[in-house]
Chain A
Amino acid sequence: MPNNSNTSFTNRVALITGASRGIGKAIALELGTHGAMVVGTATTQAGAEQIERYLSIAGIRGMGIAMDVTDPAQITSGIKAVQQSLGGIAILVNNAGITRDNLLVRMKEEEWDTIMQTNLKAVYLLSRAVLRDMMKEKNGRIINITSVVGATGNAGQTNYAAAKAGMIGFSKSLAKEIGSRNITVNCIAPGFIDTDMTRALSSEQQQALTQQIPLGRLGTPQDIAAAVAFLASPAADYITGTTLHVNGGLYMG
């Protein structure tokens, strides 16, 4: 287990939303392996149990909680439970995200609103909920998982790209607001990562995509988790308000 001074999260509590699978799970395991106490959220109780299972197999202290990240009451009670059993949250990773792709001319309001709620409003609600503890500690890390399409745009994803670009503006503003309290706010923008979300693409689509990636492959959840661990670590003390692109060269910001 790596345990040098650059990656020491011992006894710090990290909250990762959308942690039952994919990128969120990789982030939870990565931070936990570096010594953090890990809290993963999932939308269902079954998802929360899944999180508890993989944390316990990996020997990581932490918990899984069922939480609808668009519901302020559930966020408040979930965070209270974490504070009572593990302590104040020092690292927040807003990872939960969904897609409702459609051409704009056919996009229903429900498809637009759902994406804004889950991908953008949740970031506001969760950040607000953890800020007091971070301000008291004069220390904290907020890491928002955005997307390359927030920077490049993508046909069929006006809603998703708008929410992801919104996260970047949010992060820059909050970084300015609370920088004086030693709290950093950054984004990580994954490119095309091999998860359930990208597996929904046809193999022709996947092939065409891979041809545009200088490093010649889709990314892995681990590629993103390593970048999160870096931004959460003391090595990134002086980095705030930035977006770190992790995309194999697909887009160079």
Chain B
Amino acid sequence: MEITEIEQRIKKIVAEQLGVKEDEIKNESSFVNDLGADSLDTVELVMALEEEFECEIPDEHAEKINTVQEAIDYVSASTSQ
């Protein structure tokens, strides 16, 4: 999967889950600090990523996904395996 495709799909999910506009979402955006997510939102976001990319993100990894870029990195690493 192309990185740009992963990026687009992730930004779309983030926009839907957090109720923000897609063009407000930057790669370096932090879900909590920049996009207004609370801790439960971040859990749901990971659930949505798992569903979208049909993968399982273990809790210890999920805790390290705090920004859009970190989500892109995780998904591209796990789907390229």
Contact = CB atoms under 8 A, between A and B. Distances in A.
Interface of A: 132, 135-136, 177-178, 180-181
Main secondary structure of the interface of A (DSSP, over half): helix
Nearest to B51: A136
Contacts of B44: 135
Interface of B: 40, 43-44, 47
Given A135-B43, A178-B40, 7 more contacts: A132-B47, A135-B40, A135-B44, A136-B47, A177-B40, A180-B40, A181-B40
10 contacts: A132-B47, A135-B40, A135-B43, A135-B44, A135-B47, A136-B47, A177-B40, A178-B40, A180-B40, A181-B40
A180 B40 CA distance: 9
Contacts of B43: 135
Contacts of A132: 47
Nearest to A138: B44
B44 to A, nearest CB: 6
A209 to B, nearest CB: 43
Nearest to B48: A136
A180 B44 CA distance: 12
Q: 9 tightest CB-CB pairs across the interface, nearest first?
A: A135-B44, A132-B47, A180-B40, A136-B47, A178-B40, A177-B40, A135-B47, A181-B40, A135-B43
A177 B44 CA distance: 13
A181 B44 CA distance: 11
A41 to B, nearest CB: 25
A181 B38 CA distance: 12
B47 to A, nearest CB: 6
